[in-house]
């Protein structure tokens, strides 16, 4: 169980983390969402015992994360947000080196993961692609079958196929009862894996909800192209939230269920229907506006 209690660590002006409190229950997959610079990595550094808080504290299995780092790390797997390997080593030598430091006696899981993620471990790390390095880091974090996993943007650099495989891996680990905290700036990824998610901005807690609630709040923008301009009024006259209106091209924002939109669209002659690609800003707009109001 991971407990973060009123954790505060300011860095300069408006940077750092402020009064963060949350608990990751045993067996739970916990998402940690926020844009770059929101304080995700700073929080994770505390959990790994790399830095000490100015105020508050955090514990893993009731042990202080700074003073008992070594004990905690025995059953913890970690992927760093900015992975730095021992560049001159070969992939397999690096894994063996880490396994030796961990006094691992079973290499079964290591080889299983190498195969599952399709890694070529014979090359020198310095020459590997970003994705390959990321996969190597995933193996390092999972190979000793830890009870707790702390993953800082674990899928960065992975192609979509690998991202799906990673989601599958997380689901397998969850089924085994592992406690997982993973940070991301990708909402989809968190949505597919996590039970609950914490959203932070400027180091402050914006929301802590279970994933279904977040889905309801999440806004999607549909891009609709109509066959005839006459159908436009059908859409405009209803309670739908129109974001953009270019005649036959209309953008409509939907929070939660798209049922109402679909009912109305059924009456129209639709040429094409698309969801607009959502970046993080869109997804969190709800919280960000709230945050801005209290900031200013």
In whole angstroms, the minimum distance from the beta carbon of 177 to another protein comes to 21
The binder of another protein chosen from 14, 36, 52, 275 (CB under 8 A): 52
Chain residues 62-91 in contact with another protein, contact rule CB under 8 A:
69-74, 76, 78, 80, 82-86, 88
In whole angstroms, the minimum distance from the beta carbon of 43 to another protein comes to 14
Instruction: Confirm or reject binding of residue 258 to another protein (CB under 8 A).
Output: no
Segment near another protein (CB under 8 A), from 93-101, 183-191, 241-249, 275-283? 93-101
The binder of another protein chosen from 2, 33, 38, 98 (CB under 8 A): 98
Between the alpha carbon of residue 106 and those of residues 70, 143, 147, 248, the distances in Å are: 21, 9, 16, 63
Residues belonging to the chain? 296
Q: Give me Rg for the CA atoms of the chain.
A: 22
Instruction: Confirm or reject binding of residue 102 to another protein (CB under 8 A).
Output: yes
Query: SS3 for 21?
Result: strand
Q: Transcribe 92-126 into DSSP letters.
A: HHHHHHHHHHTT----HHHHHHHHHTT--TTSBGG
Q: If we measure between CA atoms, which residue out of 111, 118, 150 comes closest to residue 132? A: 118
Q: If we measure between CA atoms, which residue out of 258, 283, 61 comes closest to residue 189? A: 283
In whole angstroms, the minimum distance from the beta carbon of 136 to another protein comes to 11
Size of the site for another protein (CB under 8 A): 26
CB 60 within 8 A of CB 133: no
Instruction: Confirm or reject binding of residue 107 to another protein (CB under 8 A).
Output: no
Distance of alpha carbon 138 from alpha carbon 163, whole angstroms? 12
In whole angstroms, the minimum distance from the beta carbon of 194 to another protein comes to 22
In whole angstroms, the minimum distance from the beta carbon of 73 to another protein comes to 3
Phi-psi region at 214: left, alpha or beta (left = phi > 0; alpha = psi -120 to 50): alpha
Instruction: Confirm or reject binding of residue 48 to another protein (CB under 8 A).
Output: yes
Closer to another protein at the Cβ: 83 or 235? Answer: 83
Binding-site ranges for another protein (CB under 8 A): 45, 48-52, 69-74, 76, 78, 80, 82-86, 88, 97-98, 101-102, 140
């Amino acid at each position: 169980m991971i407990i973060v209690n009123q954790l505060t660590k300011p860095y300069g002006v408006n940077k750092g983390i402020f009064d963060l409190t949350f608990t990751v229950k045993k067996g739970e997959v916990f998402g940690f969402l926020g844009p770059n610079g929101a304080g995700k990595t700073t929080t994770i550094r505390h959990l790994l015992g790399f830095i000490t808080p100015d105020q508050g504290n955090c514990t893993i299995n009731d042990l202080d994360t700074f003073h008992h780092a070594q004990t905690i790390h025995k059953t913890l797997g970690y992927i760093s947000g900015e992975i730095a390997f021992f560049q001159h080593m070969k992939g397999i030598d690096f894994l063996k080196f880490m396994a030796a430091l961990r006094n691992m006696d079973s290499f079964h899981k290591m080889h299983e993961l190498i195969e599952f993620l399709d890694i070529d471990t014979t090359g020198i790390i310095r020459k590997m692609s970003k994705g390959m390095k990321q996969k190597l880091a995933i193996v390092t974090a999972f190979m000793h079958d830890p009870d707790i996993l702390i993953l800082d943007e674990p899928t960065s650099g992975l192609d979509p196929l690998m991202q799906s495989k990673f989601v599958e891996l997380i689901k397998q680990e969850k089924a085994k009862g592992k406690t997982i905290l993973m940070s991301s700036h990708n909402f989809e990824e968190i949505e597919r894996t996590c039970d609950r998610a914490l959203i932070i901005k400027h180091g402050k807690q914006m929301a802590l909800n279970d994933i279904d609630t977040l889905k309801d709040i999440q806004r999607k923008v549909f891009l609709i192209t109509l066959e005839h301009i006459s159908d436009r009024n059908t859409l405009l006259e209803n309670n739908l939230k129109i974001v953009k209106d270019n005649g036959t091209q209309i953008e409509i924002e939907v929070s939660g269920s798209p049922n109402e939109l679909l009912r109305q669209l059924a009456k129209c002659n639709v040429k094409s229907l698309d969801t607009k690609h959502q970046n993080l800003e869109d997804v969190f707009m709800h919280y960000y506006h709230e945050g801005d109001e209290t900031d200013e």
